[in-house]
Amino acid sequence: MEAKILSRNKSINQNKSIGRIMNIVVKKFRRDMPAFTTLTLLLPELEKALERHDLGVIYIDVQNYKKVEILLGRENSNRFLDKLGSVLHSIPISFCGDRHKLGVCALGGDDFLIFVDTPYNTINFSEEFAKLKQLLEMKINEVMSSLNIDYLINIYLGYTEIHKNEGVRLEFQIFKAIKEVSFAAKKYGNALDQAHQQLMRQIILHKQIDSNYQPIISMKDGNILGFEALSKGPRGTIYENPLALFKAAQKYQCSIDLELTCLEAAISSARDIRDRYLFLNVDPAFLSPANSKRGYLQEIIRKHELSSSNIVLEITERTEINDYSVFRNILAFYRSKGFKIAIDDAGAGYSSLQAIAELNPDFLKMDMSLVRDVDKNAAKKALLETFLSLLKK
């Protein structure tokens, strides 16, 4: 409950901050560009539209606009933005099919948003994105030509979507979407990167994760001790490969959301483990108090009527542990709730050896390189015996 209360208070503070930011944007917007529709004025229409369908958000930002301002001068700069706004209002938007335009607004300068209905499918996302960028740049350069300025303009272009969420105000969703789409437009400039980022969003949104369960056999009696949940992305995509899936999540800054999606998929399909252990791969960053979503793990376990005493948190090396004393306290909290702790790929490198010494795990998952052909390699056998001796201490 504590995690939920903190999250709710945070949302209230965020909403207040969003309101202030919206007001700043509108004031700046009205001072510089009084002819354009403001985001605040669009909100009622967008709320109605979101009741019917999801919203697509297209973000446009003129590259090197300071140079454009110098070339044009103040008066012509205002005329340029005026004409640019008119072009964006009038131009038909074709993106994975013809889109219904819900509104256009400026964000206080050369940044614009176009709100559209979302495509039914985005199979050809990268090609469609590249075509849209080419069209918009052509139209914007026509505006420059009309002002008799010989300068080729390029734009940053981004796309994201807003999905109906009853518990979150639209202002907050739009503010979050602006942050995401403006960052993506400048960080992932090419169409292929934009397409992969969109695919990652869809995987997380629609929970397109397949959970596979690998049995862990006891060497004492041959019985199944537990199962390790392995997460894969959609079949037939490059993200069916778990390494590619989690690497992309890091690149596109959605690791925490993917981690939560994978944990939910693994737990929801594991109701029949009975008294066996369920091993879940967990990034250290997910367990950090800085992650506001970490409390959802226990909610998911309760929702699917599992016991935390059957859950083994298998600590991966996707994120480096910088402070072991802090992380020990984090694990102490989970241990107090009944969770067991395992170290993944033990012996693969110095960091895993340090983790063993610092974290006192209940289980070690030995790296395959140490286990393969151990019956033929005396050095590997000696290393494994050393690990066993270490654990007994």
* Predicted confidence (pLDDT) per residue in 359-393, tens digit: 888 988 887 888 888 888 888 888 888 877 777 76
Return the pLDDT at 231.
95
CA geometry: angle 377, 380, 383, nearest 5 deg? 150
Give 164's pLDDT tier (boundaries 50, 70, 90): confident
CA atoms within 13 A on the CB side of 247: 7
202/37 Cα distance (integer angstroms): 30
Task: List b or e across 294-304, with b for residues whose CB sees 16 or more CB atoms inside 10 angstroms.
Answer: bbbbeebbeee
Q: What percent of the chain has pLDDT over 70?
A: 89
- Residue ranges per domain, the chain? 12-195, 207-392
**211-270 confidence digits (pLDDT tens):** 999 999 988 888 999 999 999 999 988 999 999 999 999 999 999 999 999 999 999 988
Return the pLDDT at 226.
93
CATH of domain 12-195: 3.30.70.270
Return the pLDDT at 14.
47
Give 275's pLDDT tier (boundaries 50, 70, 90): confident
Return the pLDDT at 123.
80
Return the pLDDT at 214.
92
Handedness of CA 192, 197, 201, 206 (dihedral sign): positive
Which residues, including other chains, have CB under 8 Å from residue 117's CB and lie 6 or more apart? Answer: 49, 53, 54, 55, 56, 99, 100, 102
Give 277's pLDDT tier (boundaries 50, 70, 90): very high
Q: Which residue has the higher pLDDT, 115 or 13?
A: 115
Return the pLDDT at 161.
94
Alpha-helical runs (H) found in the chain = 2-32, 39-52, 65-90, 125-146, 170-187, 191-205, 242-251, 255-268, 284-287, 296-303, 324-336, 350-359, 368-371, 378-392
Domain 207-392 falls in which CATH fold?
A: TIM Barrel (3.20.20)
Return the pLDDT at 348.
65
Return the pLDDT at 2.
30
Query: To the nearest whole number, what is the mean pLDDT of the chain?
Result: 85
Return the pLDDT at 313.
95
Instruction: Give phi and psi for 156, each to the nearest 5.
Output: -90, 130
Return the pLDDT at 47.
92
**2-40 confidence digits (pLDDT tens):** 332 223 334 444 444 544 444 444 444 333 443 467 888
Return the pLDDT at 11.
42
Q: What is the DSSP string of 20-85?
A: HHHHHHHHHHHHH-TTSPPHHHHHHHHHHHHHHS-EEEEEEEETTHHHHHHHHHHHHHHHHHHHHH
Mean pLDDT of 127-144: 95
Give 321's pLDDT tier (boundaries 50, 70, 90): confident
**62-74 confidence digits (pLDDT tens):** 999 999 999 999 8
Mean pLDDT of 331-345: 91
Return the pLDDT at 350.
52
Q: Is the pLDDT of residue 296 over 60?
A: yes
| pTM of this structure | 0.79
